[in-house]
Structure formats: structure tokens, C-alpha cells
Structure 1
């Protein structure tokens, strides 16, 4: 890793950014003390968007009992 001063970083920032894009890393120092690192950002991995109508979750079955009529007791519980 190459060490550069804050003055160099400000003066030649575009050049350093181009080199960082190619994988190079820099330490930026104020005087003799390192204060920052200029490193490439990891590439963002885009998630594929689902197509219209495509389900994201696994399918599930609705049992036939879900469509059965309510019993008299259940109707009373619901106040019907």
C-alpha cells in the first residue's frame, strides 16, 4: 500500500481514484500519521427482480376444510 499526503490526495484525486478502481490501495497521511485509507468499494451484486406474477415464496395448499361451512357453535361464537 502506498502512502500519500493529504495535499497529494487533494491535488491528484482523479488519478488516485482511477488507480483505486483498478485495485490499488492508498493510505492518506497528515504529516507522519496515517488518517485514512483509499480503497475500492466492493462491487454491488444486484438481485434479480421477480417477473410480474412470479411468486417469491414456496407454494402452499389451502385445505378443503377452510371452505367448509361453520358449525352452529362457531356461528354463535361469531355472534351470527
Structure 2
């Protein structure tokens, strides 16, 4: 299915529905393909997905760097 930019503005909901049904929806500008409407991919990241899987940082991790470690970082 093809639609001009003007048609896409007017019928966006219908074009989205067509894309969700698996149709190829191409938006044209002056008869030249310019964009394609495709269904969004489901998110792969779950907020809080690592909860209870990671240990809290140790005290050593949060401790200030030693003089030698600071020197290694150029500080």
C-alpha cells in the first residue's frame, strides 16, 4: 500500500492498522518512496529486570581511591 504525505496525514490511523495487519505501507513524497510504516518491536528491556539478581556494591567499591589508584587515573 502506498500513500502520499497528505494522504498519510489524513489517514494515519488506517495506515497504522494496515501495517499491524502485515501490509507494507510506504509513504511517498512527489511519487518517490520516502518512509515506511512498520509495527513497533516489543521492548526487550524490562524495568527492574535485574532486581534481586545483582548484589549491592561492597564497601570497597564505594571507598575513596588510594593515592596510587588516583595516580593511575591521572588525577
TM-score by length of 2: 0.54
The count of aligned residue pairs is 54
**1:40-55 mapped onto 2 (5 Å cutoff):** 40-47=39-46, 49-51=49-51, 54-55=52-53
Cα 1:56–1:12 change in 2 (3 A) is: same
Unaligned runs of 5+ in 2: 56-75
Looking at structure 2, the residues matched to 5 and 30 of structure 1 have their Cα atoms a distance apart, in angstroms, of: 6
Root mean square deviation of aligned Cα:
2.2
1:28 and 1:42 map into 2 onto residues whose CA distance is 20
Matches within 5 A, 1:39-78: 39-47=38-46, 49-51=49-51, 54-56=52-54
Could you list the structure 1 runs, at least 4 aligned residues long, displaced by more than 6 angstroms after superposition. none
Answer with 1 or 2: which has the greater Rg: 1
2:69 equivalent in structure 1: none
Q: 1:43 to 1:32 in 2, by over 3 A?
A: same
Structure 1, gaps ≥5 residues long? 58-80
**What TM-score results when the alignment is normalised by the length of structure 1?**
0.51
Deviation of 1:19 after TM superposition, in Å, equals 2.4
2:18/2:25 contact within 8 Å kept = no
Partners of 1:43 and 1:22 lie apart in 2 by 16
